[in-house]
């Protein structure tokens, strides 16, 4: 998969190299069940049309740029992990658009002309509530007209649990209140976070959402070694382990969150193989 960082300065160059694709559109933070349905729909459409599949995502998140939005934002995964999962799904090209005030102010028709038609998009796939252009004035219902009816559109309807839409916002909310055991039904897998470990202290890498302060049952893995144990989240946004995990080697590790623990309950550490199958 080719990853292209896209902005108004290099857009013309990438337009010259573009080839026809079916494109999935969205921020795709976390790549939850709803996101995967959009991307798999695009992959299926591309196969039907004998075209390659592209994904367009946006960074930083629009909520950190748009007026009236909070500048502090809890990402669910860094770009490198998003890239790895999209590559595994079979996406051919990932466009990461620089979302700044200039991009946010584009009229909807210009976004379609420059960033879709200009990049060879023959068919666009997105969630039912996807919007584009200045103040989100564009939507999937008007995209065909904005493209001069040169782009076909597939709208993916809501993926939900009960009457609640599965969304990145819902996943963040669930993590921030500490309900990590509910994450697999939203995300399709337990929540994972990359950290730097130093003895019993863990420092999370950027662009992850820290669960609420408290004690959790987790798996910690690095290289070919793993351990299932208890981890405490502190107000300082550091993590501390009940046991010495120097056997995992100091450096980078992955923390897999299983469940919040009631007060005074302790988990006896158990060494694991790292073939979790998530």
User: What are the DSSP calls for 163-209, one per residue?
Assistant: TEEP-HHHHHHHHHTT-GGGHHHHHSS--EEEEEEETTEEEEPSS-P
The confidence score (pLDDT) of residue 236 equals 67
Asked if the model's pLDDT at residue 100 lies above 70, the reply is yes
Region 97-108 average pLDDT: 94
Positive/negative CA dihedral, 25, 26, 31, 37: negative
User: What 3-state DSSP class applies to 79?
Assistant: helix
**What six digits make up the tokens of 226?**
């793993």
Asked if the model's pLDDT at residue 107 lies above 90, the reply is yes
Hey, what CATH topology would domain 2-161 get?
Answer: Rossmann fold (3.40.50)
- CA 245/CA 269 separation, integer angstroms: 10
Residue intervals in the chain for CATH 3.40.50.620: 2-161
- Residue 62 DSSP label: G
Q: What are phi and psi of 157, to 5 degrees?
A: -75, 170
Nearest CA-CA partner of 53 in 105, 113, 106, 1: 1
Region 186-206 average pLDDT: 87
Asked if the model's pLDDT at residue 269 lies above 50, the reply is no
- Say which CATH class 184-272 falls into: mainly beta
Residue intervals in the chain for CATH 2.40.30: 184-272
Asked if the model's pLDDT at residue 159 lies above 60, the reply is yes
61: confidence class by pLDDT, cuts 50, 70, 90? confident
Whole-structure pTM value: 0.86
Asked if the model's pLDDT at residue 218 lies above 80, the reply is yes
Mean of the per-residue pLDDT values of the chain: 87
Q: pLDDT by residue (tens digit) across 126-137?
A: 999 999 999 899
């Amino acid at each position: 998969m080719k990853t292209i960082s896209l902005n108004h300065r290099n857009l013309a160059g990438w337009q010259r190299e573009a080839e026809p694709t079916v494109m999935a559109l969205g921020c795709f933070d976390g790549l939850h069940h709803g996101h995967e349905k959009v991307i798999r729909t695009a992959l299926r459409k591309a196969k039907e049309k004998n075209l390659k599949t592209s994904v367009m995502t946006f960074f930083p998140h629009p909520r950190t740029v748009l007026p009236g939005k909070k500048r502090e934002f809890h990402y669910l995964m860094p770009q490198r992990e998003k890239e790895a999962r999209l590559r595994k799904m079979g996406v051919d090209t990932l466009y990461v658009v620089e979302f700044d005030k200039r991009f946010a102010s584009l009229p909807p028709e210009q976004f379609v002309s420059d960033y879709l038609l200009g990049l060879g998009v023959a068919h666009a796939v997105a969630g039912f509530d996807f919007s584009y252009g200045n103040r989100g004035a564009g939507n999937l219902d008007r995209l065909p007209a904005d493209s001069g009816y040169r782009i076909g559109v597939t709208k993916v309807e809501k993926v939900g649990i009960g009457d609640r839409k599965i969304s990145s916002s819902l996943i963040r909310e669930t993590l921030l209140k500490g309900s990590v055991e509910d994450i697999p039904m939203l995300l399709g897998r337990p929540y994972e976070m990359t950290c730097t470990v130093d003895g019993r202290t863990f420092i999370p890498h950027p662009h992850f959402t820290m669960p609420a302060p408290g004690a959790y049952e987790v798996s910690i893995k690095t290289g070919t070694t793993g351990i299932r144990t208890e981890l405490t989240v502190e107000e300082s946004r550091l993590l501390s382990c009940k046991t010495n995990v120097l056997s995992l080697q100091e450096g980078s590790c992955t923390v897999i969150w299983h469940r919040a623990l009631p007060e005074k309950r302790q988990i006896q550490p158990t060494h694991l193989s790292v073939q979790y199958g998530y």
